[in-house]
């Protein structure tokens, strides 16, 4: 059986029109994921070599079913290319992905290139050119991709849900940017049914596609790891949801890997140790590039440490009276007790893999908490092993600061509220650790497969494996998650407050400045993002103490508090803000680097966004883009001011910080995509138009559901 992700096309006969490739990066051949891991038996039939191949109809490949002993299934996207069109193309990310530099801009494409791009990204074609170097003449030319859907399980709202998998996402192919060496996996969301669709239709509606397309880029632009968006397309598919038919859409989203915590869970709960290990080996080798455990290192560890353990065990098993062995150990009556030395633990590659996952997850969630991002559905099947923000559903950026904010109205108990996110990440890591505990617990003997098999088939011995993993896992969760989270959160918050970078963090910054400021925001319903932009204007030069800044503080409070709150409690808010402003002010004036008001303002406005993809902004964009799509489909001759709205909003997501730090004078400029000429003053916010400023009353506290 072959497990390659591409099949060679027949050479083009003389006189036949030459294939014009879409402006996409070259596929990697063969594909790492599908060649390294087992495919389900049904979809593998069509990939056999020679006469053994058994063609399997597409409708059978995509039939929802239980899939066992497999990490993925080959499945073709449903052809939705008829009357489909490109809504937006992310040229900024196209560069990073490795698209030909001469094909980055849509203006550089021929009509046929655009048509072929739309076909490939909507299931109407699968031919992609491969690099020509080093190939046989008969193999040159385009190949057809062999797309696949990923099989995984997961805990949903705290309960294991069994087989889940890519129910409407289909991976098209892998690619490697030759300039950077970075691998990427292109995936189509909304591409139709897969074996993992269960009772769903495999489609995505336009509103959810817009939300994911924009938010992935907004999060990445705020320095938080995320999947990326390459393109969004409109299809003529009408998708039935709770409120009736909605226009369909497909997003081409991209990540270095789409493996999730739930990818391991499905094999663990099925007691499929063989495929669990195969997946773990793949992640170690291909995703994290971890070296194999060195036999010399493991032998040396065994010689040094296991000998000590055996001697200690032997000593305890002697027939000496208890008081004798206690005296030897320094524990006899009247003698000081000695501290027992902790057992030595060998961290094999699977422990190191888990350590990497914990570290990256900590960095991700510290970023969420700093930028005010609430994910909404932190199930283990939505947790990336690379610590990427993925699966953008009912997410929200905070409006007013509310640590208990719940963005998903299906989350009645607040399991995934804003303040719970770090704890949920830790809980999810615990679920992942559970799947790996035998591999981690085997320590230096993890590659002694006969020995490991004996341990796993004996209940008592398997318990020893789990016990051997316990201390390693706990230490990783303490050091690679808790400590890393706290350190990175301190760094991010110090930068947001203008207190310098990682090397300038002081012990009391968090407890005396950051936490009291957050509490004050919560008490007075202050907008989380506007708070930092306003604080950037706070001046300390010429005022050695807070008391000399009374007028400025009153103006700051008036600027930040909602009008009704200011009218009712403004004077109290002024007095209470001084409680944390005093140590903040003192911290600034005692540092020459920090007390420069203009320099500090520039630094703060480079990390605190003026434009935020709030839910009301996303909703307004959805409404206007949907109306624009309907006009296009109806071939309306009416002028459409929103035809390029998605491109403009995408530009804002990529450039959320305004033009702070530039010239004080006004100047005319044009956005990167050439869509709108504006006049900017030194605040530089006109480019954002109606999408910055106070949250409209109708847009406050919007919650979304998981339905998409």
208/619 Cα distance (integer angstroms): 10
CA 402 vs. chain centroid, Å, equals 23
CB of 499 within 8 A of CB of 514?
no
- Residues with Cβ within 8 Å of 232's Cβ and at least 6 positions away in sequence, in order, are 86, 87, 88, 209, 210, 213, 249, 250, 251, 252, 646
151/336 Cα distance (integer angstroms): 57
Please tell me which residue in 40, 115, 293, 381 is annotated as part of the active site.
381
Beta bridge partners of 6: 145
DSSP per-residue letters across 445-483: GTT-HHHHHHHHTSHHHHHHHHHHHHHHHHHHIIIIIII
Whole-number pLDDT of residue 320:
42
369/364 Cα distance (integer angstroms): 9
Whole-number pLDDT of residue 143:
66
Q: What is the dihedral of CA 199, 171, 410, 64, to 10 degrees?
A: 10
Whole-number pLDDT of residue 679:
32
215/653 Cα distance (integer angstroms): 8
CA angle 8, 27, 29 (to 5 degrees): 60
Whole-number pLDDT of residue 65:
96
SS3 (DSSP) at 668: strand
Nearest to 396 by CA among 380, 408, 383, 379: 408
Active site includes 381?
yes
Residue identified by tokens 């900017």 is 680
**Within 590-654, where are the H helices?**
597-604, 615-633, 645-654
From the first residue on, what is the mean pLDDT of each consecutive set of 10 residues in the chain (708 residues)? 38 60 91 95 76 78 95 96 97 96 96 96 84 48 82 97 97 96 97 95 96 98 98 96 91 98 98 97 97 90 71 47 37 41 82 98 98 98 98 96 95 96 98 98 95 94 94 96 97 96 90 97 97 96 89 96 96 96 95 93 96 95 94 88 92 87 40 38 68 86 71
SS3 (DSSP) at 108: helix
Q: Is 113 exposed, middle or buried (0-12, 13-18, 19+ CB in 10 A)?
A: middle
CA-to-CA separations, 175 to 36, 168, 382, 466, 694, in angstroms, rounded = 16, 21, 23, 38, 42
* Tokens coding 237: 């598919």
Q: What is the dihedral of CA 635, 638, 644, 646, to 10 degrees?
A: -80
Q: How much of the chain is helix, strand and coil, in % rounded to 5?
A: 45, 15, 40
pLDDT over 70 for what percent of the chain? 85
pLDDT by residue (tens digit) across 493-513? 999 999 998 888 999 999 999
pTM of the model: 0.89
């Amino acid at each position: 059986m072959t497990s390659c992700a591409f099949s060679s096309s027949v050479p083009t006969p003389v006189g036949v029109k030459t294939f014009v490739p879409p402006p996409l990066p070259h596929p990697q051949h063969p594909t790492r994921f599908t060649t390294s891991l087992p495919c389900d038996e049904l979809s593998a039939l069509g990939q056999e070599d020679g006469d053994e191949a058994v063609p399997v109809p597409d409708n059978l490949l995509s039939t929802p079913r239980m899939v066992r002993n497999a990490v993925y299934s080959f499945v073709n996207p449903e052809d939705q290319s008829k009357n489909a069109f490109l809504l937006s193309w992310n040229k900024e990310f196209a560069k990073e992905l490795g698209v030909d530099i001469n094909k980055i801009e849509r203006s550089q494409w021929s009509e046929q290139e655009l048509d072929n791009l739309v076909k490939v990204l909507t299931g109407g074609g699968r031919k992609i050119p491969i690099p020509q170097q080093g190939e046989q003449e008969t193999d040159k030319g385009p190949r057809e991709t062999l797309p696949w859907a990923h099989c995984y399980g997961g805990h949903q709202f705290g309960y294991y849900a069994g087989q889940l998998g890519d129910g409407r996402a289909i991976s098209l192919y892998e690619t490697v940017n030759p300039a950077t060496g970075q691998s990427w996996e292109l995936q189509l969301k909304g591409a139709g049914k897969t074996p993992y669709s269960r009772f769903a239709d495999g489609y995505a509606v336009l509103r959810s596609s817009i939300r994911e397309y924009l938010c992935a880029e907004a999060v990445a632009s705020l320095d938080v790891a995320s999947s990326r968006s390459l393109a969004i397309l409109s299809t003529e598919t009408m998708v039935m949801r709770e409120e009736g038919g909605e226009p369909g859409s497909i997003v081409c989203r991209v990540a270095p890997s789409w493996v999730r915590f739930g990818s391991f869970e499905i094999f663990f709960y099925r007691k499929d140790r063989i495929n669990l290990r195969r997946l773990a080996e793949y992640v170690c080798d291909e995703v994290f590039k971890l070296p194999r455990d060195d036999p010399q290192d493991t032998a040396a560890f065994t010689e040094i440490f296991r000998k000590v353990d055996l001697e200690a065990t032997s000593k305890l098993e002697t027939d000496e009276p208890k008081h004798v062995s206690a005296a030897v150990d320094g524990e006899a009556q009247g003698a000081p007790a000695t501290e027992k030395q902790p057992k030595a633990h060998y961290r094999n590659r699977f422990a190191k893999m888990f350590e990497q996952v914990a570290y990256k997850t900590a960095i991700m969630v510290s970023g969420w908490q700093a930028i005010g991002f609430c994910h909404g559905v932190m199930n283990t099947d939505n947790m990336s092993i690379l610590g990427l923000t993925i699966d953008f559903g009912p997410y929200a950026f905070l409006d007013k600061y509310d640590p208990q904010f719940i963005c998903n109205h299906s989350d009645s108990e607040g399991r995934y509220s804003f303040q719970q996110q770090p704890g949920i990440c830790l809980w999810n890591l615990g679920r992942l650790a559970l799947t790996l505990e035998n591999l981690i617990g085997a320590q230096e003997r993890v590659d002694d497969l006969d020995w490991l098999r004996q341990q796993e088939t004996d209940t008592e011995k398997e318990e020893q494996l789990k016990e051997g993993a316990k201390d390693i896992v706990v230490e990783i969760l303490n050091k690679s998650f808790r400590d890393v989270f706290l350190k990175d959160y301190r760094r991010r918050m110090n930068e947001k407050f203008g207190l310098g970078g990682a090397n300038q963090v002081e012990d009391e910054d968090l407890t005396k400045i950051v936490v009291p400021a957050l509490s004050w925001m919560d008490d007075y319903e202050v907008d989380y993002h506007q708070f930092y932009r306003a604080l950037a204007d706070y001046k300390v030069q010429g005022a050695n103490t807070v008391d000399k800044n009374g007028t400025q503080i009153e103006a700051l409070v008036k600027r930040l508090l909602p009008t009704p709150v200011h009218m009712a409690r403004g004077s109290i808010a002024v007095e209470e803000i001084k409680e944390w402003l005093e140590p903040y002010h003192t911290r600034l004036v005692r540092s020459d680097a920090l007390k420069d008001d203009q320099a500090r303002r520039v630094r703060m406005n480079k990390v605190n966004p003026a434009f935020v993809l709030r839910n009301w902004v996303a909703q307004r964009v959805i409404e206007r883009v949907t109306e624009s799509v309907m006009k296009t489909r109806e071939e309306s001759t009416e002028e459409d001011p929103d035809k390029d709205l998605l491109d403009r909003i995408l530009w804002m997501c990529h450039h959320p910080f305004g033009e702070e730090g530039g010239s004080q004078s006004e100047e005319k400029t044009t956005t990167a995509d050439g869509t709108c000429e504006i006049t900017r003053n030194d605040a530089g916010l006109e480019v954002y138009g109606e999408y910055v400023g106070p949250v409209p009353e109708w847009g406050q506290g919007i919650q979304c559901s998981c339905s998409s």
